Amino acid sequence: MPLSDLISGPSGRNLLQVLVMMTGFWLTQNIITIFIPTTLLLHMLKLPKYTLTSTLLISYAALFFSYIAAGMIGQRIGRRRFFIIVGPLIAVIGSAILYYLIRTPDLSLGAIMALVCVLSILVTSPWGVIITYINERFVTDVRATGFGIGFSLSVIIPSFYAFYMNWLGAVMPFELTPVFLLAVGAIIGTIGAAMGPETKDVDFH
């Protein structure tokens, strides 16, 4: 289908809403998948490489089950409601956990592993629902294109998170900038989700 069918009319509004939501959740995801392994655990908490790898392995194993759980919850209560509930939890609880990890360098290994697991599960939980939700936001004629653009184009702005951290470091302690970005990303994701409808019972026929 012509690209104009996607960027105009109802599909255009749907795409804008998806882009806003995904921009927020990509920003939160970058904190988990990039900042925590390469900066927090390695340089701030100074975990040995074997211990760091073990921590990530345990947290990623937990994510396998949390994705399934998030999908089941989203199916029961609705995708939109799930995002609107989880987004503020990430902004408040997730940011508090990240702040505690950054500001408490003498934590035991067990405490670090437990907090990283909880933080990872909470912040990445929307991704157990996002794939389904984006597909449900577009009509059949533009569904593949809408999904591809909505999912991939939205990653561009969050990808510069390291630059944002440097800029924010001029007005706040640098080590707190990822906490701020995590909260901002969660708020943007929640606003984006609130802009759209519920899709749990969407009829594709």
Residue 129 sits in a domain whose CATH number is: 1.20.1250.20
Residue ranges making up the domain that contains 148: 9-195
Task: Using pLDDT thresholds of 50, 70 and 90, give the confidence band for residue 165.
Answer: very high
- For residue 2, is it within any domain? no
Q: What angle do CA 65, 36, 117 make, to 5 degrees?
A: 30
- The pTM (predicted TM-score) of the whole model is 0.93
The more confident residue out of 9 and 86 is: 86
In the structure encoding, which two tokens stand for residue 174, read together?
């640098």
Q: What is the pLDDT of residue 140?
A: 86
- Asked whether 108 and 65 are in contact (CB, 8 A), the reply is no
- Does 162 score more than 90 pLDDT? yes
Q: What is the pLDDT of residue 9?
A: 84
Task: Using pLDDT thresholds of 50, 70 and 90, give the confidence band for residue 205.
Answer: low
Q: What is the pLDDT of residue 1?
A: 57
Residue (of 202, 187, 164) closest to 91 by Cα position? 187
- Domain count across the chain: 1
- For residue 106, is it within any domain? yes
- Does 95 score more than 70 pLDDT? yes
Q: What is the pLDDT of residue 189?
A: 98
- For residue 3, is it within any domain? no
- For residue 125, is it within any domain? yes
- For residue 145, is it within any domain? yes
Residue type, 169: G
Q: Tell me the average pLDDT of the chain.
A: 94
- For residue 203, is it within any domain? no
Task: Using pLDDT thresholds of 50, 70 and 90, give the confidence band for residue 196.
Answer: very high
Percent of the chain with pLDDT over 70: 98
Q: What is the pLDDT of residues 12-25, one digit of tens each?
A: 999 999 999 999 99
- For residue 96, is it within any domain? yes
